[in-house]
Homo-oligomer: A and B are copies of this chain.
Amino acid sequence: MNYKIINGTLLTHTEKGFEIEKKDLYVAEGKIVDPARCEGWKEGGYETVDARDRLVMPGLINMHTHAYMTMMRNYADDVDFDEWLFKRVMPVEDQLPQEAAYWTSLLGCMEMIQTGTTSFADMHMFCGQSPKAAKEAGMRAFIGRGLVGDDLYGDGAGRFKEALEEKAAYESEQIRFILSPHAIYSCSARLLEQVADEARKSDMLKQIHVSESVAEVENAISKYGKTPVKLLKEIGFLDEKTIFAHCVQMREDDMDILAENHVHVVTNPASNAKLGNGFAPIVEMQKKGINVCLGTDGTASNNTLNMFREMGLLSLIHKGIHKDSTAAPAQFVIGAATVHGAKALGMEGKLGVIKEGAYADLVFLDLKAASLYPNNNILSSLCYSANGSEVESVMIHGKFVMKDRELLTIDKERVYSEVNKIVEKYL
């Protein structure tokens, strides 16, 4: 289906940053097009969408999550990190059957769609389930099977093989794959080296958790004599196709290394605060020219996949830390949730923007929601007053997955019923 979207207020992006524009928008074959230059465009051969009183913005990109964990929402809170991980989260993961991960990933997709996320980068443990859920939901996903172990010929082999098989089985224009070694404390240096080699050979992105906690950095120094960032540099892991999640406990020279090597950073403010890991030095990284993206992490540590909540947090936390009301401004925050993610994913100009040739991943917000009213400054409102509930319709790859708050790809009651059974059995 082709679409002509009329009367809308658009959030567009130029080299000067985001701005608000009123103009019509044309969608054909999954992309935003200029009808004058689009062969597939015929007058009358489209459906008209009236976007009066709506903001049409690019879909948000959640750059770090674990969708399969969504059933653990609000399951282990106000406890210390060791109890959280070893007594609550891991025992559940260890006994969860494959299919459970499908239903709980679908629950995650549902919440993401409802709150305006159209793309997500996922690290998982259950092959095939996250791609299946993302595909059914009609989302765009960049998925990696979490890798751990000693090396690709030892106990790291199984998961690595699974990761490549998953890519072969599920890769498509909307579902792509990332190599996702878990962390330097769960992967040997040898395995990380091999993953970096494989990524270069097969031209794949890599994502890894880095310097999330004080303990991780202290243990790295005690085991390797250096910080996780320096270890990864030595291994040859760093390049412009590398994405580091967290980066909370960073030294000055760690940040310089990331900047020099064009590594992308995903900050997860809710998760880092909630687990007591602290606040990442985002303002400092931004000043060094590091590309900072935004993610929610999984619901077991957030406890929501709502990127609007995350955007507000990102700005408020860093304004508070720096005692500077101009720190982490709305322009930066919206960028972190859109164009910065697109850049990290190698999708500049394709995702996170409304422009000719970009994928038609569009979110329609109700500008008459009380939280946005009056519409004094729409850019500000996305960062400081929106809560995600303003999202009414969501289009991904030119197809509506939610229209006027009705989910078109997900059977909510079925998902709830299946997730309930899993919760009753395993939590």
- Residues on A lying within 8 angstroms of B by beta carbon are 71-75, 77-81, 84, 107, 110-111, 114, 214, 269-270, 272-279, 299, 302-304, 306, 308-309, 312-313, 315-317, 319-320, 322-327, 329-331, 368, 370-378, 380-381, 383-385, 387-389, 416, 419-420, 423, 427
Contacts and interface: CB of A to CB of B under 8 A. Distances in A.
19 contacts: A71-B374, A73-B372, A74-B376, A74-B381, A75-B377, A78-B329, A78-B331, A79-B325, A107-B370, A269-B316, A270-B312, A273-B319, A273-B320, A276-B320, A277-B320, A309-B312, A317-B317, A368-B416, A389-B389
A387 B385 contact: no
A327 B376 CA distance: 36
Contact of A373 (B277, B327, B416): B416
A74 B273 CA distance: 26
Q: In this complex, which of A84, A309, A370, A376 has the most chain B Cβ atoms within 10 angstroms of its Cβ?
A: A370
A385 B73 contact: yes
Contacts of A214: 323
A376 B424 CA distance: 10
Contacts of A270: 312, 316
B373 A107 contact: yes
Contacts of A72: 376
B110 A370 contact: yes
A385 B74 contact: yes
Given A78-B380, A80-B326, A373-B419, A385 B276 contact: no
A320 B248 CA distance: 11
B81 A325 contact: yes
A65 B250 CA distance: 38
B78 A274 contact: no
A74 B380 contact: yes
A309 B309 CA distance: 8
Nearest to A77: B380
A376 B80 contact: no
Nearest to A387: B387
B306 A387 contact: yes
A274 B384 contact: yes
A9 to B, nearest CB: 14
A192 B273 CA distance: 39
B387 A388 contact: yes
Contact of A380 (B277, B303, B385): B303
Nearest to A378: B74
Nearest to A82: B325
Given A387-B309, A388-B387, A389-B388, A373 B323 contact: no
A370 B214 CA distance: 33
Given A74-B376, A304-B387, 8 more contacts: A71-B376, A73-B373, A74-B377, A74-B381, A77-B383, A111-B371, A299-B385, A373-B419
Nearest to A300: B376
Contacts of A278: 320, 323
Nearest to A318: B273
A283 to B, nearest CB: 12
Given A107-B373, A320-B273, A373-B107, A385 B304 contact: yes
Contacts of A331: 78
Contacts of A323: 214, 276-278
